Structure 1
Amino acid sequence: MNMSPSNYIYHEEAGLLPRAKGFCCRRFSKTKILGLLCFGALLLFLLTLSSPDLSPKDNYGGKRQLLPNVVGLFGPANKPGRGGKFNTYIQSNIPVHKKTDLRQRLPQCLIIGVKKAGTGAMVQYLKLHPDIVIADKELNFFDYERNFKLGFDYYKTLMPPSYEGQITMEKTSNYFHNKDTEWRVYSMNTSMKMILLVREPIARAVSDYLQRKQKDKSNKELTPSFEELIIRQKNGKINEGYPGIRPSFYYKHMVRWLKYFPLTQIHIVDGDNLVRNPYEEVHAVEKFLGLPHLITPDRFVFSDKKGFYCMSIDGVNGTRQEQCLSKGKGRKHPDVDKRVMEMLTDLFKPLNEQFYNLIGRKFNW
């Protein structure tokens, strides 16, 4: 074999490669290297074609980072038996013949808000239905960017396991009014169903204020009054940027959601009526989800002590026991300054009318 330097691209005499003995000192011909380069370029081209676009433009012309396609994430995953993780989730009221394919699934329905309109009560009521499983806490997956970036596989691990035929749900009451949540939900599932609870907007804002004050345990007594927070001192106008009032702008938020989802996929619950007649509102949700009406009127028992409806749940040996919402529910609202009430009424009246026209439904606000 001719081992002259002319058979190689580089010459040892040129000092480009150190002298060595054996295989390591052999050099590749120009033809072989050219072939390898062509193969690498072809492979890179094919990978580029198959890679998803992670930053498509949205309706506003900006770029948004989408997560990878979720086709397949709805398939089998996390089968039961992994360290007994699922045992605490298994519902006892499921017929034996329906207990099949227990696994974690991405939600098919979200309760998207609004805060202080009865979302917590709705979760407890829907848990009475054997065909519904709901995550135990608010996950803030779609409204917190740091959570959303963790991906849909991560999100699925937060879901309670369900049997085949059950609907998995999650409730985060901030989803509705937080920008970018709607397109993130759409990027996961375009056929997602949403449940939206609304309430008279001023009462909702006051209730929001009371909850914020209650949570601020260290400075609760120093918390400014509702009027002080809602009115700007500089010009005496409504502070529309106050976090406690923003969720009440139903029309503005609904416009965003309807850019991605048809109204047929969003069921609107009258939060005020949920307090007065929970059975009626829960019955409508069952219909929206296409479920049999298994939450019967006798499941709702009015408590004179609490001043609102509690649930009648199954106890031991076929008995029933009363279960009420937490003591934080049903707080008495303070009287709001008359002038401030007039200003809030003037602010919300045109927005409420626009909301009615948008959804084709009126409320007694």
Structure 2
Amino acid sequence: MKSLETRRTTNLLTAYTARTYRPTSLSVLMLVIICLLSMLLCYCWSQYVYKDPSQHRAANSKMESTNGDKAILSSSNGRMEYNVKERSSSVVTQQAQPTWNITSCYSYHGKKRLKSQRELQEMGCERKLPKVLIIGVKKCGTITLSLFLDLHPEIQTRIELDFNPNVEDWLKQMPMSTSDQISIVDFPGYIDDPKLLQYMVSNIIHDLKLIVILRDPVKRAISDYVHVSEKITWLRKTGNLKELAIYRSSKRSSQNITAHQGYEMLGNFEETITDNHGNLNTSHLFIRKGIYIEYIKNLFENVDRNRVLIIDGDAFMKNPLLALKKVEKFLRLSDFFTDEHFYFSSKKGFFCANVTGREDTKCMTPNKGRSHPTVPQHLLQQMSDFFTPYSLKLQEYLNQTLTFSYHESGK
């Protein structure tokens, strides 16, 4: 009896439930719409995730594609993500993404400025001894190379900083950098003292690497002359004559020689580098600095050759990307620079940087806006004839093609 009563109760509840929750046509329609919307959202998301990097642009970031299988997202907020995707002909698969997030210790709005002390502490910024020195040669593009390298998110550079035997004081002059960055110091005078470099490698920075940039020695000599001339003019104008040495010329008794840091200046460029008979004064520093083979041999006698990268300065001015890619490889940095980061300015006559969020670095300035003197053709040829044998020896010694070995300036 009790079993019959239970079955009746169960049947009544089942019938009631079926009547109460019977789906209406409206509820079925709503369910269909929800399913369609879900499918649409899934499709849109898949398109976003697997979209080709060359087409994907964010408002404040730029996707750079390299070698067909790498993409680097450089964002204006200073954070960088490095994503790797493997592609096949029919399927696109996304591998685990090795990422490197770089948070800069500096802000770059108009001018490079150090962030607040609180931000520096939060990011773990500190001053570190350099891993790399750009050591010269003077007037070959060391500063421009430093400025362009500073655009790399894993580099912080310090321009024209001489070595200080008090390492603690030297360290205080280094740029702030994060744990993901290395410091690079540029000072062209380092190449003049290979013994110092040997000491630094042996006693201070054991994994130190060196970069040397060289250019056409004829152009270098003229640029150096303009630089020293302006320096002397400025010292005279400010009344700071302690750095100058003024004495009577031995070859032209009616004129005085003004010397600055070993550079003797006598009249114009031609008068300065020639003797009384119009022959090239090959002992003058403007000329001696261009005999690169002597500097490089002395360097390799004191420092392991594998620590040194030689950059062709003339090739760098014509195509900065190739030189910067060599530096990336030499220093084992992440693949960052692309041709989109640089453009040639027909107005200025040289390359300019175009890196998102780094408007502080503009264009390379080979002459820093200085006007160069008009040099007679015969003197250019004389200088070219003198330098060419040394440049060819250097090319053979390095087993490296150097564009200035052919001396277009002397033609």
Does TM, scored on the shorter chain, surpass 0.5? yes
* Residues 177, 246 of structure 1: 8 Å contact kept: no
Superposed, which structure 2 residues align to 1:169-208 within 5 Å? 169-178=184-193, 180-187=195-202, 188-208=204-224
How far 1:153 sits from its partner (Å)? 1.8
Structure 1 counterpart SS, 2:296: helix
The counterpart of 2:342, out of the listed 300, 304, 317, is: 300
Deviations 1:243-262 (A, max 9, x none): 33332121101111101222
Structure 1 segments (4+ residues) deviating >6 Å: 319-322
- TM-score of the two chains, using structure 2 as the length reference: 0.57
What residue number does 2:128 align with? 105
Pick from 296, 304, 326: which aligns with 1:262? 304
How far did 1:156 drift? 1.1
TM normalised by structure 1 equals 0.64
In the TM superposition, residue 269 of structure 1 has moved relative to its aligned partner by 1.0
**AA aligned opposite 1:273:** A
| Structure 2 residue aligned with 1:118 | 141
- 1:232–1:238 contact (8 Å) kept in structure 2: yes
Structure with more of its chain in strand, by fraction: 2
Say if 1:126 and 1:175 are closer, same or farther in 2 by CA, change over 3 A: same
Contact 1:139 1:171 in 2 (8 A): yes
From the superposition, tell whether residues 231 and 179 of structure 1 become closer, same or farther in structure 2 (CA, over 3 Å).
farther
Q: Would you say the 8 A contact 2:194–2:303 is kept in 1?
A: no
Q: Partners in 2 of 1:166 and 1:321 — Cα distance?
A: 19
CA distance in 2, matches of 1:181, 1:231: 33
Counterparts of 1:1-365 in structure 2 under 5 Å? 88-89=113-114, 101-135=124-158, 137-141=159-163, 147-148=164-165, 151-178=166-193, 180-187=195-202, 188-217=204-233, 224-233=267-276, 236-315=278-357, 323-325=362-364, 328-329=367-368, 331=370, 333-364=372-403, 365=405
Query: In angstroms, what is the RMSD of aligned CA positions?
Result: 3.1
Structure 1 match to 2:244:
none
SS in 1 for 2:354: strand
Contact 2:266/2:272 (8 A) holds in 1:
no
Q: Which whole-Å CA distance do the structure 2 matches of 1:327 and 1:341 have between them?
A: 19
| One-letter amino acid of the structure 1 residue matched with residue 348 of structure 2 | K
Q: CA deviation at 1:180?
A: 4.0
Q: Contact between 1:213 and 1:223, CA under 8 Å: does it hold in 2?
A: no
Which residues of structure 1 form unaligned runs of 5+? Answer: 1-79, 81-86, 142-146
Distance 1:229 1:184 in 2: 36
Counterpart code for 2:162: N
Q: Matched residue of 2:382: which SS? A: helix
Larger Rg: 2
* Aligned residue identity for 2:161: L
The count of residues paired between Structure 1 and Structure 2 equals 262
Quote the offset at 1:217 in angstroms. Answer: 2.9
Deviation at 1:189, TM superposition (A): 2.7
Could you tell me whether the CA contact under 8 Å between 1:263 and 1:359 is conserved in 2?
no
Indicate if the aligned counterparts of 2:345 and 2:352 stay in contact, CA closer than 8 A: yes
- Name the structure 2 match of 1:66: none
Amino acid at match of 2:198: W
Percent identity over the alignment is 30
Amino acid at match of 1:225: N
**Number of the residue aligned with 1:19:** none
Q: Note if contact 1:111-1:194 (Cα within 8 Å) is conserved in structure 2.
A: yes
Structure 1 residue 107, shift from structure 2 partner: 0.4
CA distance in 1, matches of 2:178, 2:125: 5
Q: Which runs of 5+ in 2 are unaligned?
A: 1-104, 106-111, 238-264, 406-411
Compared CA separation, residues 326 and 117, structure 1 to 2 (3 A) = closer
- Indicate if the aligned counterparts of 1:89 and 1:160 stay in contact, CA closer than 8 A: no
